[in-house]
Structure 1
Amino acid sequence: MRWPNSLRNRVLAVLAASMASSALVVVLASTLLWEPFTRWVLRDQIEDNGEALSRLLRFDAQGRPIGVDESKIEPWLFDSFRKEVMLRVAESDGRVVFATDDQMAAFTRDGKAFEPLRQSFTFTLHGVAMHAATIPFEHAGIRRFAQLAVSDRMVLQMRESIGFDVLRQGMAALGITFVAIFLVTIHVALRQALQPVREASSAARRISPRTLAERLPTSGQPRELRPLVEAFNVALDRLQRGFKTQQEFLSNAAHELKTPLALIRAQVEQAEAGAWRDQILDDVDRVARQVQQLLLLAEASERQNYRVEAIDPEPALREAFDFMERVAARRGVTLGLQLNPALRFWQADRGGLFTLLKNLLENAIQHSPPSGVVTLAAGPQGFSVIDQGKGVAERDLPRIFERFWRGADRREQGAGLGLAICTEIARAHGWRLSAHRRSPGLEVRCDMAPVVEVGPDDGEPAAAAPPPGNGRSDLPHGAGFQAGYSQALRRALF
């Protein structure tokens, strides 16, 4: 048997199976025991009715029974069903002193004499099977016996015409009502009981390499699941320590490499000029750049390095644009900046946003041909960087954000970390980066719709176009993400 995956569904399946099994047992038991059970119920009812009738008898002045209390028992019952329902009162010797059918003989078992005791029995009267009960009672100090007899054919007729239909309808209504109430109550009860499990599941979904400090709540968890939750939290402790050690090693190694690289560069610069000297300096600069990118990647992966707040994005966009314009000019590439008039405040770390824009623009410039155009277009819901280079093959689009991945037209000065750093910064802000083929070139979009104020315009980036004038600005760089890295980047780029 294949069980449902959900714990709630499993509990419901067990309960449903239990209900079905119980219903089957009840049906089988009812089928086997229905006849003796109904006869027992009939005999018991006749005894109860006979005892009730004995208390409703009316007596004359001499204490002899003369009828029943018509205010309690309407007389038509014994008049209309004279041959089907009969009441007689007998003395201890079997002599009848009152009868509703005017037959002054006590009811007895077939072939037996009257027995002055409480009992239920069957007998045949004029060929009709009868169910009878003898009930002793006392009145005015005299002990007598009330006898009630009901014909079997009347009982069967009422049971066939009325009883079974009413019973079936009643059982169906009762069953439907019970099932409906059961499903509602068990759903509410299970939902409440499994609430701690759902809270733990939600907490587990929120855990990522950037939120390893979070733990699953153990309070309120079922006793059977608590060891699993605690073991998961212990595993998170180990994972957090390992991730922290890895990040510290990456940062420390990059820092330690900067000093010997600087010493090597200083020693090479003192040597005589020549092709070998320029080649070694280029190699040292390339390694220094890769070390710097490793540092940026390590810092971009740590969420505590960000200070997210509402900022006006236009100064940050113009700052990154101005910063990369000199790089573009050296390669003969034109930068274009297009700002949507509906641009509003973004929730971002200013330094992290600068690095993200700088890396995307740098990547687009390095893949653009001379005289090409790279456009930075921004709107209320995000921004995009569009180049006019060779683009990326469709099969490689999902891989361009991977660490250390480089395409077929790989650049010797690249380490394959620029877009990986962009991915880390975007994830820390809750944004999403995506790459799309253009004709020609590539477009990288940053969608920040979940955390941005949306203006009246949808902010869709327009086609590439160069900006009017040179668009230069002397706006200061922001703080928050790696406050002291901008000068190092300038030294690496220029």
Structure 2
Amino acid sequence: MDIPFVKSHWPRSFRGRLLLVYVAGMLLSGGLVMAAVMVLLEPFERYMLQHSVIDRAEQIAKIIRFDAAGLPLGPDRARIEDWPFASLSEEVVLRIVDPHGTAFYTTDGQRAPLAPVGSGFDPLAKGFVMEKDGVSMHAATVPLKRPGRTWYVQFAISDRIVLLMQHSIGLPALRQGIVATCLTFLVIFFITTHLTLRRVLRPLRVASRQAQRITPQSLGDRLELQDLPSELVPLVDAFNRALDRVQLGFQTQQEFLANAAHELKTPLSLIRAQVEMGGHASDNGSGSGSGQSPYLLQDIDRMARQVQQLLHLAEASEPRNYRIERCDPRSTILEASDFMDRVAERGQVQIALLFDEGVGPWHVDRGALFTLLKNLLENAIQHCPPHRTVRLQVHGRGFVVSDEGPGVAQEHLGKLFERFWRGASRRDEGAGLGLSICQEIVTAHGWTIEARNGAVGLEVRVTHASIPDPAQ
């Protein structure tokens, strides 16, 4: 089933995508934090209020004054203001009691100790909730040790005064502070992120400028891998390797064009000379005689053959021209052998075709296989002495073409498949492209081709492991 194409709404800029990811991450994190705050705000406020009351009681206990008899006189007025206890006597309460709960100092005139709801005075209840005249309050009891005696400082504050302060001053101030902080943070974030991304992406801009400067005249240049992020190194390295292949292909084509021009220049010059001479020459070279010169026709045939081979090489070099399929190769091999029998007869050479057992279907382009065999057989016939045999032996993993000629010098074996290279012992005047075409066909199939001197003559072996082996 085809997957419908969905247009991406991502920014085209890499920097824009990173910014979008950062902002999305911030918004998601902020949303999660806000959800957690909404859920935990009320219990957290109660927790903080209770601990604030305990802390306040401990601070007050440190500044309690005592008279000469060791009785408490209240907090030191020089170190704490007493207006909250005087003006908010119903909301803020301070008492100092003994271990039995008897109050010796109080700010609201009441002598009863502060105690949790539903229970009596408990000196060990450090923090608790109580009610005073129907008003809920948070209270704390902290010990105050004196020589020979322990006192307990009790401090309480009503929930309603705390809520009033929170809703009238605290929460609005908190909201304003959060908004101001967020806006300041966003401005700083965008500025610093922009500068940071600009710095981080600078190697990409440098690599882009380097890539723009690469032209057919500077294919040897490569993009620098230094300072690139590790995630982008494989991409740039793959681009450099692609440039290596492009450079190699470009150089090959340039050499091909130069060699083709050189090879075609000679027959064209000869034809031009024949035409300027009127296309007539005597067979004995005296200049007298009649009829069309056979040399002109030979030059035309030679040039036509070279052009035909150039076309075959161009076709063999293009992978899209191949139609590789699973088929029995024997019919194509027989066809190529029968076709080259006529050439072999003219050279007084025989072709021996041998099939080993287990030759099964191959994955091959039939037309390319025919051309491959024809060129290899033609090359073997050209180097085989008269009244000798060219052998084509086919096995499960390929085939071998061998002749009974003089072979090839060891230093020349590596040049056999070079374009336009011709050995000194050739009897024909070909363009030197036949084996180059074979090399292109073999490469397109993923096979290998190897030339070596056998016991007698030259052997060309074509093999590949992808060809099924019937013995397996």
**Residues 154-175 of structure 1 deviation map (CA, whole Å, 9 limit, x = unaligned):** 1111111101101111111111
Residue of structure 1 equivalent to 2:369: none
Gaps of at least 5 residues in structure 1 are: 285-494
Please give the residue correspondences for 1:221-240 in structure 2 after superposition, counting only pairs within 5 Å: 221-240=228-247
* Per-residue deviation, residues 350-397 of structure 1 (Å, max 9, x unmatched): xxxxxxxxxxxxxxxxxxxxxxxxxxxxxxxxxxxxxxxxxxxxxxxx
Give the partner amino acid of 2:82.
P
SS of residue in 2 equivalent to 1:102: coil
CA RMSD of aligned residues (A): 2.6
Aligned partner (choices 171, 194, 198) of residue 187 of structure 1: 194
Give how far 1:129 is off. Answer: 1.6
Unaligned runs of 5+ in 2: 1-7, 281-291, 301-472
Q: TM-score, normalised by structure 1?
A: 0.53
3-state secondary structure, aligned to 1:210? helix
**TM-score normalised by L of structure 2:** 0.55
Deviation at 1:32, TM superposition (A): 1.8
- The match for 2:48 is 41
| Corresponding residue for residue 127 of structure 2 | 120
Q: 2:222 aligns with which of 215, 222, 230?
A: 215
2:34 maps to which residue?
27
Q: Which has the higher contact order (CA 8 A, sep 6+)?
A: 1
Does the aligned pair in 2 maintain the 1:56–1:68 contact within 8 Å? yes
Alignment of 1:109 onto 2:110: no
The amino acid that maps onto 1:112 is S
Cα distance in 1, alignment partners of residues 150 and 77 from structure 2: 23
Q: Which residue of 2 aligns with 1:61?
A: 68
Counterpart CA distance in 2 for 1:182 and 1:139 is 56
Which shows bigger deviation, 181-190 or 97-106? 181-190
Q: Of 13, 18, 24, which residue of structure 2 is paired with 1:11?
A: 18
Q: CA distance change for structure 1 residues 72 and 270 in 2, over 3 Å: closer, same or farther?
A: same
| TM-superposed deviation, 1:53 | 0.9
Matched, 1:157 2:157: no
**Corresponding residue number in structure 1 for 2:146:** 139
SS of 2:226's equivalent? coil
Q: How does 1:321-340 map to 2 (within 5 A)?
A: none
Report the CA distance between 1:141 and its aligned residue: 4.5
Query: 1:74 is aligned with what amino acid?
Result: E
**Distance apart, 1:18 and its partner CA:** 1.7
Find the partner of 1:250 among 257, 261, 272.
Answer: 257
Does the CA-based 8 Å contact 1:118-1:136 persist in structure 2? no
SS at match of 1:114: coil
Runs of 4+ in 1 over 4 A off after TM superposition: none
Residues 201 and 118 of structure 1, relative CA distance in 2, 3 Å threshold = farther
Aligned to 1:100: 107
2:14 partner amino acid: L
Quick check: 1:83–1:101 contact (8 Å CA) kept in 2?
A: yes
Aligned length: 278
SS at match of 2:220: coil
Question: 2:53 is matched by which residue type in structure 1?
Answer: I
Structure 1's 95 and 5: CA in aligned 2 closer, same or farther, altered over 3 A?
Answer: same
1:35-64 Cα offsets, whole Å, 9 max, x none, are 111111111111111111111212222222
Percent sequence identity over aligned pairs? 47
Instruction: Give runs of aligned pairs for residues 370-389 of structure 1, distance below 5 A.
Output: none
* Structure 1 residues 92 and 211: CA distance shift in structure 2, 3 A: same
Q: Which is greater in Rg?
A: 2
- Could you tell me how far 1:118 is from its partner in structure 2? 4.5
Instruction: State the AA in 1 paired with 2:252.
Output: T
**Residue 187 of structure 1: how far off its partner (Å):** 2.4
Q: Which amino acid aligns with 2:158?
A: S
